[in-house]
């Protein structure tokens, strides 16, 4: 059974009936309890009637500070007869009344006794977490997330892991002298009996998502195995390190963080740009694990008080994995970060990096296909600049063109291109390489990154002598890229006559396509973007509810967000006249049709590719975005 059906299975008796004639609704309960007065309710209904975006009355009462979440929970719990799940979900604003009606109709038509929660999940009308939270309220069991909690090992060891897996529960901790046990379905008699057999009659029942229980069991099991490993058992240590690297490869992680904490060692992976907890292991093994990695990258294993860096390769089935290691001395010991570079990594077509059709067309015609000039790609570390640069090179790579690179390091190897990896250890420096690069008679020069005056000058000089230069820069947005070049002691007229385009970019996490559900942003979300509800009326926002495919994050893969500045006459004049960045930004928007990073992000969120949370987390908000229909027109989506 999938986690979804398990969760829905927890929706027992009252949920199954779908009975709309439940004794009370929450508002009546609150009035009976004296938490809300009739006057307050009347006032809230008048406020509700005036709202542009409809909101449930409970939400309005909360906004007006007449009641709190705690009061709502207490009122539902005190109610002697359990309330109908469907009505609770509507009243709490978790589903719409229309959706409930649809689900109840399906339930009646199928007549197979399928539970309401199950139908809502199947139809993606609710996410599992929301459903479990409301079920916990309805049935009065606390809601826990065992996978985020330290599982008490003494409790866990009382039964074999298989037992927990079969009966879909896991003991979490001692609570008031009694074990607290999390069940996927707290009404499942067999599971309750199984728990009684092991823990006796007295325990506290809690409800949790099936996926959360599974992950907690797996993690506790691994910890149990680790405790038996001795630091001197070389074979087990090697297997453990290999296991971590293998898991990172399988999850397509870009980095592995192994960090000593006070109590234990924590292992996290960076996946889609975000750190995700993978595993813990006991502190006594840290020294052995560190030594193993130091041996692999051939650095001094006796040196434990200084930072060190190294590198090693791991053979994969069809490629070679290149790992860069950094050992950083902390108060709890050495923290290790491994960066995974896949040298035969997937090279993506420029059509697939995520530029809107109109922007891609302009980028090709007005930048990439010009015979000479500097093309700048800017953004912070991890914003996907390198991928974009490689997709550009790959796009213009043909037998008539000589392309040469100076990179630190070469991340993908592309056939037909002369790529050089900078290596300061053997005096193969950036400066030295750039001095030689123009003598190689190239058509296109790729400079990994503009990092100082010297590299900026080389780029500009090469463009002046008729070369096409593609390079990257560390700046917030496209205008920032121009301004920073201007601050590098290069004549304004040289910049204005060589730079042809500046592309700023970010990578945002994509909504998982396996568990996406439509959702409506809150007025506060919209306000933070600078919008009112009317500005995004036709948007189709989506959110991942979390599934096995996305490791319950709701996100899978990433999408590029772009801001393309093509330098035209107006911008060139503005540069020569030393206009401020605000003035250049205004001219870019008015005269070149520039859409900002935030605007490109909004268009992508409005089509359900990413979420508003991701926009707010990653994109600069320098000015109010234009209304969605206008942006869709500008980007032709």
285 contacts 243 by C-beta, under 8 angstroms: no
Regarding 517 and contact with Zn ion (CB under 5 A), the answer is no
Q: Which is nearer to Zn ion, 188 or 614 (CB)?
A: 614
User: Whole-number minimum distance, CB 546 to Zn ion, in Å?
Assistant: 6
Instruction: Choose the binding region for Zn ion from 175-183, 489-497, 500-508, 546-554 (rule: CB under 5 A).
Output: 546-554
Site string for Zn ion, 549-568 (x = CB under 5 A): xx------------------
Structure-block tokens of residue 526:
């919209």
Q: In this chain, which of 98, 300, 432, 514 binds Zn ion, going by CB under 5 A?
A: 514
Regarding 32 and contact with Zn ion (CB under 5 A), the answer is no
Q: Which is nearer to Zn ion, 2 or 68 (CB)?
A: 2
289 contacts 241 by C-beta, under 8 angstroms: yes
Contacts of 110 (CB under 8 A, 6+ apart): none
Regarding 515 and contact with Zn ion (CB under 5 A), the answer is yes
Residue 428: CB atoms within 10 A of its CB come to 13
The whole-angstrom separation of Cα 424 and Cα 117 is: 61
26 φ/ψ angles, rounded to the nearest 5 degrees:
-65, -40
Q: Which is nearer to Zn ion, 512 or 618 (CB)?
A: 512
Regarding 516 and contact with Zn ion (CB under 5 A), the answer is no
Instruction: Choose the binding region for Zn ion from 270-278, 281-289, 548-556, 558-566 (rule: CB under 5 A).
Output: 548-556
Instruction: Choose the binding region for Zn ion from 337-345, 467-475, 544-552, 568-576 (rule: CB under 5 A).
Output: 544-552
171 contacts 181 by C-beta, under 8 angstroms: yes
End-to-end, the C-alpha distance of the chain in Å comes to 40
Site string for Zn ion, 470-509 (x = CB under 5 A): ----------------------------------------
Torsion sign, CA atoms 613, 619, 621, 626: negative
285 contacts 231 by C-beta, under 8 angstroms: yes
Three-state SS for 240-287 is HHHHHHHHHHHCCCCEEEEEECCCEEEEEEEECCEEEEEEEEEHHHHH
Q: In this chain, which of 120, 265, 469, 547 binds Zn ion, going by CB under 5 A?
A: 547
User: Whole-number minimum distance, CB 544 to Zn ion, in Å?
Assistant: 5
Q: Which of 204, 246, 241, 209 is CA-nearest to residue 226?
A: 241
Q: In this chain, which of 512, 517, 575, 584 binds Zn ion, going by CB under 5 A?
A: 512
User: Whole-number minimum distance, CB 549 to Zn ion, in Å?
Assistant: 5
Q: Where are the beta strands (DSSP E) in 125-260?
A: 169-175, 178-183, 204-207, 255-260
Residue whose CB is nearest to Zn ion in the complex, by number:
512
Q: How much of the chain is in helix, strand and coil states, percent to nearest 5?
A: 45, 20, 35
User: Whole-number minimum distance, CB 516 to Zn ion, in Å?
Assistant: 8
User: Whole-number minimum distance, CB 149 to Zn ion, in Å?
Assistant: 22
Question: Among residue numbers 177 through 216, which ones bind Zn ion (CB under 5 A)?
Answer: none
Give the residues lining the site for Zn ion (CB under 5 A). Answer: 512, 514-515, 544, 547, 549-550
């Amino acid at each position: 059974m999938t986690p979804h059906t398990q969760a829905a299975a927890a929706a027992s008796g009252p949920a199954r009936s779908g009975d709309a004639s439940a004794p009370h609704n929450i508002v009546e309960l609150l009035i009976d309890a004296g938490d809300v007065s009739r006057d307050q309710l009347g006032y809230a209904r008048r406020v509700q009637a005036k709202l542009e975006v409809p909101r449930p009355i409970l939400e309005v009462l909360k906004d007006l500070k007449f009641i709190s979440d705690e009061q709502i929970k207490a009122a539902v719990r005190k109610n002697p007869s359990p309330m109908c799940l469907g009505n609770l979900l509507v009243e709490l604003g978790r589903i719409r009344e229309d959706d409930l009606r649809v689900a109840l109709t399906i339930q009646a038509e199928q007549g197979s006794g399928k539970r309401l929660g199950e139908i809502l999940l199947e139809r993606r009308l609710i996410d599992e977490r929301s459903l479990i939270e409301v079920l916990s309220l309805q049935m009065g069991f606390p809601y826990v997330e065992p996978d985020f909690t330290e599982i008490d090992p003494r409790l866990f060891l009382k039964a074999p892991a298989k037992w927990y897996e079969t009966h879909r529960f896991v003991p979490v901790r001692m609570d008031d002298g009694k074990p607290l046990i999390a069940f996927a379905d707290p009404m499942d008699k067999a599971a309750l009996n199984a728990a009684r057999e092991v823990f006796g009659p007295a325990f506290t029942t809690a409800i949790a998502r099936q996926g959360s229980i599974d992950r907690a069991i797996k993690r506790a099991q691994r910890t149990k195995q680790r405790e038996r490993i001795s630091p001197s058992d070389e074979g087990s240590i090697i297997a453990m390190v290999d296991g971590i690297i293998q898991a990172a490869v399988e999850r397509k992680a870009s980095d592995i963080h192994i960090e000593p904490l006070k109590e234990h060692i924590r292992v996290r992976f960076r996946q889609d740009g975000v750190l995700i907890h993978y595993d813990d292991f006991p502190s006594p093994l840290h020294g052995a694990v560190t030594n193993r990695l130091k041996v692999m990258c051939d650095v001094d294993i006796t040196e434990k008080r200084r930072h060190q860096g190294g590198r090693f390769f791991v053979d994969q089935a069809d490629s070679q994995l290149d790992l860069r290691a950094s050992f950083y001395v902390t108060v709890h010991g050495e923290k290790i970060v491994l960066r995974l570079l896949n040298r035969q990594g997937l090279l993506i077509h420029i059509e697939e990096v995520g530029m809107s059709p109109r922007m891609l067309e302009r980028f090709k015609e007005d930048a990439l296909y010009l015979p000479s000039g500097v093309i700048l790609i800017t953004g912070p570390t991890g914003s996907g600049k390198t991928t974009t640069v490689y997709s550009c090179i790959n796009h213009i790579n043909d037998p008539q063109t000589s392309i040469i690179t100076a990179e630190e390091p070469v991340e993908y190897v592309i056939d037909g291109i002369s790529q050089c990896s900078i290596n300061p250890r053997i005096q193969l420096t950036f400066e030295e390489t750039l001095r030689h690069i123009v003598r190689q008679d190239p058509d296109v020069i790729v400079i990994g990154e503009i990092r100082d005056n010297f590299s900026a000058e080389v780029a500009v000089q090469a463009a002046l002598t008729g070369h096409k230069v593609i390079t990257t820069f560390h700046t917030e947005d496209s205008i920032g890229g121009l301004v920073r070049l201007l601050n590098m002691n290069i004549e304004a007229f040289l910049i204005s006559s060589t730079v042809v385009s500046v592309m700023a970019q970010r990578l945002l996490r994509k909504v998982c396509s396996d568990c996406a559900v439509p959702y409506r942003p809150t007025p506060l979300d919209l306000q933070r973007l600078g919008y009112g509800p009317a500005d995004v009326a036709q948007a189709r926002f989506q959110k991942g509810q979390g599934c096995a495919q996305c490791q319950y994050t709701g996100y899978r893969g990433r999408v590029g967000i772009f801001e393309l500045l093509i330098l035209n006459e107006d911008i060139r004049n503005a540069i020569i006249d030393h206009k401020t960045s605000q003035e250049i930004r205004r001219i870019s928007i008015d005269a070149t049709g520039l859409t900002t990073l935030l605007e490109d992000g909004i268009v992508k969120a409005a089509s359900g590719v990413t979420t508003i949370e991701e926009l707010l987390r990653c994109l600069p908000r320098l000015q109010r975005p234009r209304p969605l229909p206008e942006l869709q027109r500008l980007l032709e989506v």
